[in-house]
Structure 1
Amino acid sequence: MHSIANQIGDLASSGERMIERLRKRAFLPESRKGLNVRFGIAEAAQLLGCSTNRIRMAEEDGRLPPAPASENGRRTGYSVDDLQNMRSVLNASPARAPLDNPAIVAVQNFKGGVGKSTVTTHLAHYFGVQGYRVLVVDCDSQATTTTLFGFNPHFNITREETLYPYLSIDPTQADLLYAVKRTPWPNVDLIPSNLELFDVEYELAAAGSDGQSVLAARFRKLKQGLQDLAKDYDIVILDPPPALGTISLAVMQAANALLVPLAATTPDFCSTVQFLSMMDQVLEQLVDAGITVDYSWVRLICSKFNANDPSHDMVRAIMEQSFGPALLPVPILDSAEISHAALRMMTVYELEKPIGTPRTHKRCRANLDEALGQIEQLVRTGWGRVERVDEELLVNG
């Protein structure tokens, strides 16, 4: 007769095999995630903040390759790689100046089910579409973000490819370069995670009498490692575990900005208040221990908001009264398009065509652009930049 431990192990193994089958089904024929999304010339011009005429002129005079076309001569649209090249040629990159500090944003809430990993991956891909250089660091041993990037944390990722060799009691890596993986996005990289990253928590908990100094050393080490890596990026997005553990504390200390997603329900509101209260106490203790924590901004964003649910409206009103301007004004709407994309281990920004109706897709994408664009403006304000101007809008008034 199976013991409970064996039964749970069997359930885990069966689930892991199913994840791998789903992954292979989603990424056929080569069982590897690709990026096939395309942008028309009008959308490309909007993303570059220039006119369609400027793109056509650059194609005509040879500075840009001819517009991609299918066999029947129709434009197929520009890939993300094409957009990156266009930004370089037309001097339209939004990248920070060399003296600007990279934004290192922790997306954190101790309440599960608030869409933390969904917000992380969509935020990364939003910044990728806009042309920024992005690094995502999955610090959560549950590895949802790693999965959404197309890696199976059980079959594709070993412990040596996570933060573990750098943060463990007996580290085998002196910097974090070893862990950086390319993703289908040319300007978005990932440090993945898997279940074995949790071993760091065990090791540090067992550090004994000098545990406090070991913890402090690990905190400073993660911060230094991320700062060294961040020199090659515009924005680093950290996805910590949804619990108050060693890794969570190290991540929150390494960040220079904090984004807190929360759903529009009373339990989520209450638990987020508890999270903020706990954060306040922990940050005081870190400062007392000589560990500096400094955020350029702290914002809350309402995720999974259903505009047709009166209770969501009520809870959001309570959030506005409680948090004031720290609550971002545009929430992320609860959309079937996000759920359908997640089933395919994708974000909405990776979809070649709508999964639901075109109207649902367009509304979802417009909302994500507006909601996540609020965070882009916070980052750019930190660099002393104003909102980017579309020259066609400027010329045409």
Structure 2
Amino acid sequence: MTSRHVGSLVPRETALAGRDGSAGGGYRGYESGIPPLDPLDRSTPIGAAAAAAVEALAAERRQPFPRPTRRRIISVANQKGGVGKTTTTVNLAAALASNGVRVLVIDLDPQGNASTALGIDHHSGVPSIYDVLLGNRPLDEVVVASGEAPALYCAPATIDLAGAEIELVSLVARENRLRRAIASMQREVDYVFIDCPPSLGLLTVNALVAARELLIPIQCEYYALEGVGMLLRNVELVQAHLNQELRLSTILLTMYDSRTRLADQVVQEVKEHFGERVLGTTIPRNVRLAEAPSYGQSALTYDPTSRGSLSYLAAARELAERGWEPNGAAR
């Protein structure tokens, strides 16, 4: 339909009248009577993209994220698969490292998805976290710099890690292998993120024993809390017998879809249960988050103005600013 046809649907005296009803004002020359689009109106695709770009540029001009007074070691775990553990680990790490913080990602999942997303080679035979757990190499020897940010490093996982569960069983102090490796690391980093496999085996136990904090991603979908109860019971056992410093410090809500009532119900339920440990930022469903790993990149590098990237950037700032333990969170 042409603009002349559109204009014919509106009485000429209305089209030529100003917003306040005065004659001759018009809508900035639009005889159709239709106001121009606000480029930052989020209700339109163009407006949403423009607003995201403005926010991304504004974020780059902010002050660097605060660095912690002590190294923060954070295990990202949830025994339920597909909740965004690796996506969360990679993008929080990339966001922090891009804003003045030194970060190490330890890929403890045999699938090696975090290594892939950070552009790190992890084929069989590459020095990896498997060698560290079995005592064949110190952690410093397997850490590789990622091209995502100047201060971002990764200890990659290879398929060899799949057999580590069995091989660790017969070793002395099998639950403390990762903790000792991190303690003896010479590289100076502010954050250590440990990407756990979707299970509660010896690899996850090593991560919980090594960490001071636990971050649980919970998707905004049906059965969101399924499996979290069992994970928390394991955390209590680790606290009682192996690592008294471990705290559940952070809950991050992922895969939020504002179009569904269920998503809002899950958000409300999780916040009621976990209180201030839930980050105020929620991570939306976003196709860029799914596409980025296939290019060996985090979403923040792949598309820094996407909703997913901006959400992880906001979540990382919130994580950094709230400190190690938000408002004295309980065990």
* TM-score, length basis structure 1: 0.62
Instruction: Find the residue that maps to 1:114 and give its secondary structure.
Output: coil
User: Is 1:140 aligned to 2:109, yes or no?
Assistant: yes
Partner of 2:31: none
Partner of 1:367: 311
Q: Is the 8 A contact 1:102 1:230 kept in 2?
A: no
Q: 1:196 aligns with which of 160, 163, 181?
A: 160
**For residues 181 and 109 of structure 1, what CA distance do their matches in structure 2 show?**
26
Partner of 2:232: 276
User: Is 1:302 aligned to 2:253, yes or no?
Assistant: yes
Instruction: Find the residue that maps to 2:216 and give its secondary structure.
Output: strand
**For residues 311 and 41 of structure 1, what CA distance do their matches in structure 2 show?**
33
User: Is 1:314 aligned to 2:265, yes or no?
Assistant: yes
**For residues 279 and 77 of structure 2, what CA distance do their matches in structure 1 show?**
15
Per the TM alignment, residue 143 of structure 1 is displaced from its structure 2 partner at its CA by: 0.8
Q: 2:210 aligns with which of 239, 254, 270?
A: 254
Per the TM alignment, residue 41 of structure 1 is displaced from its structure 2 partner at its CA by: 8.5
Residue type at the aligned position of 2:62:
Q
Q: Is the 8 A contact 2:67 2:320 kept in 1?
A: no
Structure 1: unaligned runs, 5 residues or longer? 1-39, 49-92, 355-360, 383-397
**For residues 43 and 261 of structure 1, what CA distance do their matches in structure 2 show?**
24
**For residues 272 and 57 of structure 2, what CA distance do their matches in structure 1 show?**
43
Describe the shift of the 1:202–1:227 C-alpha distance in structure 2 as closer, same or farther (beyond 3 A): same
User: Is 1:46 aligned to 2:12, yes or no?
Assistant: no
Partner of 1:6: none
Partner of 1:183: 146
**For residues 271 and 66 of structure 2, what CA distance do their matches in structure 1 show?**
31
Q: Is the 8 A contact 2:281 2:315 kept in 1?
A: yes
Q: Is the 8 A contact 1:103 1:379 kept in 2?
A: no
**For residues 94 and 124 of structure 1, what CA distance do their matches in structure 2 show?**
14
Q: When you count helix as a share of all residues, which structure comes out higher?
A: 1
**For residues 215 and 188 of structure 2, what CA distance do their matches in structure 1 show?**
22
Residue type at the aligned position of 1:164:
Y
**For residues 44 and 235 of structure 1, what CA distance do their matches in structure 2 show?**
21
Partner of 2:119: 150
Per the TM alignment, residue 196 of structure 1 is displaced from its structure 2 partner at its CA by: 0.5
**For residues 318 and 103 of structure 2, what CA distance do their matches in structure 1 show?**
17
- Taking every aligned residue pair, what percent have the same amino acid on both sides? 24
Per the TM alignment, residue 268 of structure 1 is displaced from its structure 2 partner at its CA by: 2.5
CA RMSD of aligned residues (A): 2.6
Pairs aligned (count) = 271
Instruction: Find the residue that maps to 1:130 and give its secondary structure.
Output: coil
**For residues 196 and 121 of structure 1, what CA distance do their matches in structure 2 show?**
21
Describe the shift of the 1:314–1:162 C-alpha distance in structure 2 as closer, same or farther (beyond 3 A): same
Q: Is the 8 A contact 1:305 1:333 kept in 2?
A: yes
Describe the shift of the 1:222–1:278 C-alpha distance in structure 2 as closer, same or farther (beyond 3 A): closer
**For residues 104 and 192 of structure 1, what CA distance do their matches in structure 2 show?**
17
* TM-score, length basis structure 2: 0.74
Larger radius of gyration: 2
User: Is 1:113 aligned to 2:82, yes or no?
Assistant: yes
Describe the shift of the 1:140–1:230 C-alpha distance in structure 2 as closer, same or farther (beyond 3 A): farther
Residue type at the aligned position of 1:334:
R
Q: Is the 8 A contact 1:138 1:240 kept in 2?
A: yes
Per the TM alignment, residue 105 of structure 1 is displaced from its structure 2 partner at its CA by: 0.6
Q: Is the 8 A contact 2:66 2:320 kept in 1?
A: no
Q: Is the 8 A contact 1:230 1:236 kept in 2?
A: no
Describe the shift of the 1:253–1:282 C-alpha distance in structure 2 as closer, same or farther (beyond 3 A): closer
Per the TM alignment, residue 280 of structure 1 is displaced from its structure 2 partner at its CA by: 2.5
Partner of 1:264: 220
Per the TM alignment, residue 342 of structure 1 is displaced from its structure 2 partner at its CA by: 3.0
Q: Is the 8 A contact 1:102 1:231 kept in 2?
A: no
**For residues 293 and 240 of structure 1, what CA distance do their matches in structure 2 show?**
20
Describe the shift of the 1:380–1:271 C-alpha distance in structure 2 as closer, same or farther (beyond 3 A): closer
Describe the shift of the 1:176–1:183 C-alpha distance in structure 2 as closer, same or farther (beyond 3 A): same
Deviation per CA, 1:47-66, whole angstroms, max 9, x where unpaired? 44xxxxxxxxxxxxxxxxxx
**For residues 199 and 339 of structure 1, what CA distance do their matches in structure 2 show?**
28
User: Is 1:126 aligned to 2:126, yes or no?
Assistant: no
Q: 2:180 aligns with which of 224, 233, 240?
A: 224
